[in-house]
Amino acid sequence: MTTNTILRIDTSARRANSVSRTLTDAIVARFPEASVTTRDLAAAPLPHINEGFVTVTKGSAQDTLSDTQRDMIALSDALIEELRAADTIVIGLPVYNFAVPSGLKAWIDLVARAGETFRYSEAGPEGLLKGKRAIIAMASGGTEAGSEIDFATPYLRHVLGFIGITDIELVKADRLAFDPEGTMKAAQEQVATLAA
């Protein structure tokens, strides 16, 4: 698959010494010709969905919406458009307390919208963002990727698949607390093998 456009999503609360940001830097550098849109969910946090947003997405008439509701829908529309425009989505995934950061969950809640990124049919849910590639850069202190205490990577894989993105690769820098140098070396080797 050719990568012409990348949506890069960073979620680490750390600026300096962030492993997931180091990995997303390295992954994006594998595609020097691509146009990159960056969404830093730590620097510019997204609002969490609320009753007003849920009400709107259930089909409220436009003339009954508050300004706040219109703003939330406009933000959701913009985030979805960033996803639609990207060939490849690069997601920095630091594991916080065995799961995804709350900022990433807020993004997911705003982009997973019925009729926009998925739909329900007689055969069940169908993702609408097909033909895209996702690369997850996972970093953790003690959580091993794919282990019984890893609730982050399976969840993110499932959500991406739910909206139609099934070509998913994982670059992992897990269990950094135990062997930081060896773990980073292995992760960098994974990045080097990514098909550009």
**3-state DSSP assignment of residue 116:** coil
For residues 15-32, average pLDDT: 96
For residues 113-122, average pLDDT: 94
pLDDT, residue 63, reads 65
Neighbouring C-beta atoms of residue 129, cutoff 10 Å: 21
Task: Extract the annotated binding site.
Answer: 12, 18-20
pLDDT, residue 57, reads 73
pLDDT, residue 90, reads 98
- Please tell me the distance from the alpha carbon of residue 77 to that of residue 65, in angstroms, as a whole number: 16
Task: Extract the annotated binding site for FMN.
Answer: 12, 18-20
pTM exceeding the 0.85 threshold for the entire prediction? yes
Q: Which two tokens stand for residue 151?
A: 């609730």
Neighbouring C-beta atoms of residue 128, cutoff 10 Å: 15
**Domains by residue range for the chain, with CATH:** 5-192 (3.40.50.360)
pLDDT, residue 55, reads 78
Looking at per-residue confidence, does 129 or 2 come out higher?
Answer: 129
Strand partners, 94: 139
pLDDT, residue 58, reads 65
Question: Can you list the positions of beta strands (E) in 13-77?
Answer: 35-40
The overall average pLDDT reported for the chain is: 94
pLDDT, residue 66, reads 83
Q: Report whether pLDDT(60) > 60.
A: no
pLDDT, residue 54, reads 83
Q: Report whether pLDDT(124) > 70.
A: yes
Backbone angles phi, psi at 53, to 5 degrees: -70, -45
pLDDT, residue 67, reads 84
Structure confidence by residue, pLDDT tens digits, 78-116 = 999 999 999 999 999 999 999 999 999 999 999 999 999
- Please tell me the distance from the alpha carbon of residue 151 to that of residue 101, in angstroms, as a whole number: 11
- Please tell me the distance from the alpha carbon of residue 154 to that of residue 27, in angstroms, as a whole number: 21
Q: How many CA atoms lie within 13 A of 161 on its CB side?
A: 9
